[in-house]
Amino acid sequence: MNVLIDGSGAIGIGLGCSMIDSGYNVSFYASENTGNAMKKNGIKRTGIFKHLSYRPEEFKVYTNYSEIPDDEFDYVFIASKTLANDDISRKLNENRRILKDEFKIIIFQNGFGNDEPYLRFFPREKVFCARVITGFSRPERNISEVTVHTEPILLGSLQGVDPKPLEIIAEAITSGGIPCEVSERLSEYLWAKMLYNCALNPLGAILGVNYGRLSENEYSKSIMNSVIAEIFDVIDAAGYKTLWNSAKEYEEVFYSKLIPDTYNHYSSTYQDISMKNKTEIDTLNGKVIARGDKYNIDVKVNRMLYNMIKSIESNY
């Protein structure tokens, strides 16, 4: 089985190490600088799960689609930032020759609706998503560190497709040290993650604090509670489902378990802003705003946080 991991950051390298450990042939699509570091020094995964290290000859690295042979890949893992989805989906479509007939795309990203750019070109039976609530960081270009973990990675479809064919991938990721399962309820779990990320990511980035600190301040808690309430209004109006019946029910789990489990974590939005990179705010609070506008739901607190992050980005 051959796997292409498009996006060789912390998540991509972390997943790639699992797949190599499970006996898959893994190739990475990377920027030139990252690709050169991987080709020179190999890759490593450190942190709270199984530590893995691979020499350059134990995987392949591509920096241009023209380098890739025809009929090469059974699976494509999308592990890039969501900002790249339009470009990646177009290039995969233009280079379909690299994909085997029974290929599948699995999108390992923050946010909701990340399958939409790929569904422009590929049928729904080919496009799957993942819920990742494990925290990764990249201390060096070729190293992934697993920093926190709350629940298994979940693989499934947002389009009603049976996720059973992904069981072998879930088993491989699990065997490689990161718990992973398939789920027929992926949409519910992704909205659960949206609740978590939309409340924590932008506010933690704006205030420059970790998740735990946000939960200890009455003012930041009030903001997060408003974000959560607005998202529940959107979920109800749009006909989605999640794992809790109300905002109050979610808040109990949020403050008693989810934040304590990831107390010391700094959000990916914080990390992006620290490095003056564009954030994924458009697929987080931005998606809430879009659906709020569609269903005439007032999401003013989500909009305020979104506008603040966009203001920070515009001043880089």
User: Minimal CA–CA distance to 110: which of 309, 303, 289, 279?
Assistant: 279
- Whole-number Å distance between alpha carbons of 59 and 41: 12
- Residue 257 annotated in active site: no
Element spanning 303, H or E: helix 300-314
Q: Which of 60, 81, 104, 193 is catalytic?
A: 193
What tokens does 134 get?
């494990």
Sequence-ordered alpha helix ranges (H) in the chain: 10-21, 32-41, 85-94, 116-119, 167-175, 186-207, 211-215, 218-238, 247-253, 259-261, 268-274, 285-294, 300-314
CB atoms within 10 A of CB 84: 15
Is 124 in a helix, a strand, or coil?
A: helix
Which residues participate in catalysis according to the annotation? 193
